[in-house]
Each structure stands twice: as C-alpha cells, then as structure tokens.
Amino acid sequence: QFVLQNNTFLKQIFHSHSGTRDYNPKQMAIRERVFNTIISCFKRHGAETIDTPVFELKETLTGKYGEDSKLIYDLKDQGGELLSLRYDLTVPFARYLAMNKITNIKRYHIAKVYRRDNPAMTRGRYREFYQCDFDIAGQYDGMIPDAECLKIVHEILSELDLGDFRIKVNDRRILDGMFAVCGVPDDKFRSICSTVDKLDKVSMPWEDVKKEMVNEKGLSEEVADRIGEYVSLQGGMDLAERLLQDHRMSQSKQACAGLSDIKLLFSYLQLFQVTDKVVFDLSLARGLDYYTGIIYEAVLTQAGAVPAPAEAQKGAPAEESVSVGSVAGGGRYDGLVGMFDPKGRKVPCVGVSIGIERIFSIMEHKAEVSAEKVRTTEVQVMVASAQKNLLEEKLRLITELWDAGIKAEVMYKKNPKLLSQLQHCEESGIPLVAILGEQELKDGVVKLRVVATREEVDISRADLIAEIRKRTSEA
C-alpha cells in the first residue's frame, strides 16, 4: 500500500516539477481525433508536411524570441557545437527554407517543442508540448495567403466544436506606427510591445500595463495615455477606415500601409465567410520579435472555456471550470528566413500555430463531463468459444479475419469462460463476437453475436467477413 501511494506521489512530483505529462490510452484516443481533424483541414488546403530535428544549433534560436529567449532549453555542453531544444516550429522552418534554398512551399508540421516555463499545468501549459503549424512561404499578392490562414483557424475551431471563439487581428506596422506617433522612442518599441501583449495575453488591466510602461520601461505618463486611447479600440473594416483618417495615425506611413492591408484582409475574409468571428483589435501585440506584418490570435469566449466569476461558481456546473486562453495564433514574418541565408535573401512567410495542448485539455474535460465512453481500441470483433479445446479453431478463424484486414482479438487462454470473453467486449466497446462451438464447426457456420442487443445469428463461414464489414461500417 505504501509503495502504491508513494508511487502516485512520485508521479505527481515528477510531472509537476518537469512540467510534462504522460498520455493514457483514453487521452491518446482524444488526441488522435483532434489531430485527424486538424490534418485533414491542412490537407484540404493543399499543404505538404516536413519534419526537423528536435534540437537546433543554439545560435539558430538565439535572438528570435524577444523577452522569451530565457525560456529556451539549452543542452549540456559536451564539447563541440552548442545545441538547444527547439522552442517552436517556425524558426526551424525558416532555417530549413534558407538551408535548402526553398522559395515557396505550403507546409504543416506537427511536433513537440520545449520551453523552460513555470508551467501552470491546470491551464494547459507544459514544458514539453505539441505545436501544430501551417505556413505559406513565397512571394504572393497581398493578404491572400494571410486570409487563408484565418479561414483555416475558423474551420478547425468550428469543426472541433469547442464553443464560441473570436479571432483578433492586428498588424505589427500599425503597432509600430502607433508607438511612433504617440512618442515612444524607437529602441523601446519591442519592449513596449511585450508590455502591450499582457493586456491581451494575461488580461492585465490597463492601469497595471500603464504602470509597467511608466515605472519599468521609462515612458512618460502622457505617452502611455496616448497609447491607452488606441489599444482600447476594436472593430472591423470600419475601424481601419477611421484610423486612416486619424490625425495622428495618418502621419505614419507604416501604420497606413498596415491599415490598408487590414481593409484588404477583411474584404477577403468576407468572401471566405468568416468575418462573423474576426475582430480588428489594437491591443493584440504577440510578443515574438520576428513578426513583420499581420498578426492574429484566436481565443475561446464561451462559458465552458472561461472561468465563471467567483460568486457564480458556487452552484455552477462543472462545465464552467476549464480556463484556457488563446487556442491559435500567428502572423506574417517576412524577414526571418533572410536571417539564416548567407546572402540575406528574404522569403515572405505567413503562418498559424494551433494551440493543440489547450484544445486537448478542453476536449478531455468535455469527455469527462459528458461521461461519453471513449474507445481506446478499434477492435471490430472478438473471436470466442463456448466450449473447451477450441483454441486451434479460434486461431485459424482469427487468422482469416486479420488477413482480410478485420480488426480482431482473441483471449490468450486455452479454455476461457464465455462470460469473461463477453465481459471483455462490454468493457472495451467491441461491437461483435464471433462464437465457435462444436455444432457451428460441423455446420460450417459461425455464431455472430451483437454485443449491444445480444441478438445472435448463424453466418456461413464464407460470408462472415462481408457480414462483419457490413455491420461495423454502419456503426
């Protein structure tokens, strides 16, 4: 008993300190379902896939992530080149394009990445987690690939049925232009950007964001207040038009270019029929250094994903308690590939990353709440026997089934009890049992039992495979 308790304890200690998790079969079944939905969407949009090593040269990753660079896992120096675990899939993708002199590709990549975060694992944040990226690289006309990335996010989130969501959109050039016309010195753009990001990412109230700008980042009160006026704005194409007329914003060439692109983007999003969920939001900053143009982030907005206020929680249903923030994000990064090219040749890129771990957390929670039975195997039929000494016959039959591509299972016992064979089917959701007995063998038939209804029919051995296929494809 002590060892057992101790074991659970060790498990908790290991996971909470290393910020990782094991996936049990049930979780894997849910995960596979999510992956299949996402991959089929990527394929529907014509993407290829690639893979890259789990570690990169340390210098490849250095200086690409702004203030987050401290979260990179460095491997121990064992002589030779210094290596780090990948922090995302975007920088390795850019390195791959430059190294192989690829100038256009539409690719997805699903793989694990590593961050020395202090994981709040309750919110679906880990130190080792999957990322799921889709990117379009190449010189194309403005905002067409960008709009398709948003369409993809819309399709995936709708199909996974996670509840209501919003996709916030902004542009790095609008932010930089806004900082400039509000009076932020050039060398503070990036660091102020990281501060603005907190408005959105950790829902830090404006007062606190302003305090950080003034006290830690050294902005004057009035500059901070000017920024405050803009970052509270959200809307659609109309807001972009209004800002193009704004006395301050219209002075920035950069901001105007970004605002015109936002207008163009919205015109394509209307054609893609996704504007119901997309909002132009000036507080969206996304702290990563490599973005150069459009940026976006999808957040869940319905009760199931946002914690209820404290007073509502007392009698609230369990459904209220999954709290997750952003479930997808991305943007345009036209300069990143050039950083890895000896000649500095640029390849424009736009992409999106689906926050797959957070989606898993929500799907798992939904499965628990609805108490839906998640099958962890796909066995269609159990080969069973009602009498003793039929092992050889069962092995003959299961071989026929396997060879025909039927998913089948047999008990690893010479003379199992029929009841225990049937119970196994109930427990693991196997829909059919093929029962052999002396009489059936004489008559050249198999008794096929439907587990759910307990109905039994004799099927001739020659028709068995077709019958199993017919009955399991209907389910």
224: its two tokens:
């901070």
pLDDT band of residue 425 (cuts 50, 70, 90) is very high
Top CATH class of 13-369 equals alpha beta
Residue 156 vs residue 76, higher pLDDT = 156
Q: Are 167 and 150 in contact (CB under 8 A)?
A: yes
For 59-109, give the DSSP string: HHHTTSSGGGGGGPPBPP--SSS-EEE-S-SHHHHHHHHHHTT---EEEEE
Q: State what percent of residues in the chain have pLDDT above 90.
A: 67
Average pLDDT score, the chain: 88
CB atoms within 10 A of CB 141: 7
The larger pLDDT score, comparing residue 78 to residue 141, is at 141
Binding residues: 88-90, 115, 131, 135, 286, 290-291
CB 106 within 8 A of CB 349: no
The CATH number of the structural domain formed by 381-471 is 3.40.50.800
CB atoms within 10 A of CB 264: 18
pLDDT in tens, 157-193: 999 999 899 999 999 999 999 999 999 888 888 888 8
- For position 313, what pLDDT does the model report? 36
Residue 202 makes CB contacts below 8 A (sequence gap 6+) with none
Q: Where in the chain is the domain with CATH 3.40.50.800?
A: 381-471
CB atoms within 10 A of CB 367: 17
pLDDT digits (tens, 9 = 90+) for 373-406: 889 999 999 999 999 999 999 999 999 999 999 9
Name the percent of the chain in helix, strand, coil, to the closest 5.
Answer: 50, 20, 35
> What pLDDT digit, counting tens, does each position of 6-18 carry?
666 666 666 666 7
Per-residue model confidence as pLDDT tens digits over 25-68: 999 999 999 999 999 999 999 999 999 999 999 988 877 776 67
Would you say 445 and 458 are in contact if contact means Cβ atoms under 8 Å apart?
yes
Q: How far is CA 80 from CA 77, 83, 406, in A?
A: 8, 9, 51
User: For residue 124, what pLDDT band results from cuts at 50, 70 and 90?
Assistant: low
Q: What is the pLDDT of residue 116?
A: 87
Q: Decide: 36 and 59 in contact? Cβ < 8 Å.
A: no
Q: Which pLDDT score, from 0 to 100, does residue 317 have? A: 37
Least confident interval from 148-157, 200-209, 396-405: 200-209
Q: Residue positions in the annotated binding site for L-histidine?
A: 88-90, 115, 131, 135, 286, 290-291
Q: pTM (2 decimals)?
A: 0.85
pLDDT surpasses 50 at 262: yes
Domain with CATH 3.30.930.10 in the chain: 13-369
User: Of 305, 284, 306, whose CA–CA distance to 296 is shortest?
Assistant: 284
State whether residue 329 is helix, strand or coil. Answer: strand
Q: What is the per-residue pLDDT across 276-323, written as a single tens digit (0 to 9) for each? A: 999 999 989 886 778 999 999 999 987 444 333 333 333 333 333 344
Query: What's the CA gap between 346 and 339, in Å, rounded?
Result: 8
- Asked if pLDDT for residue 106 goes beyond 80, the answer is yes
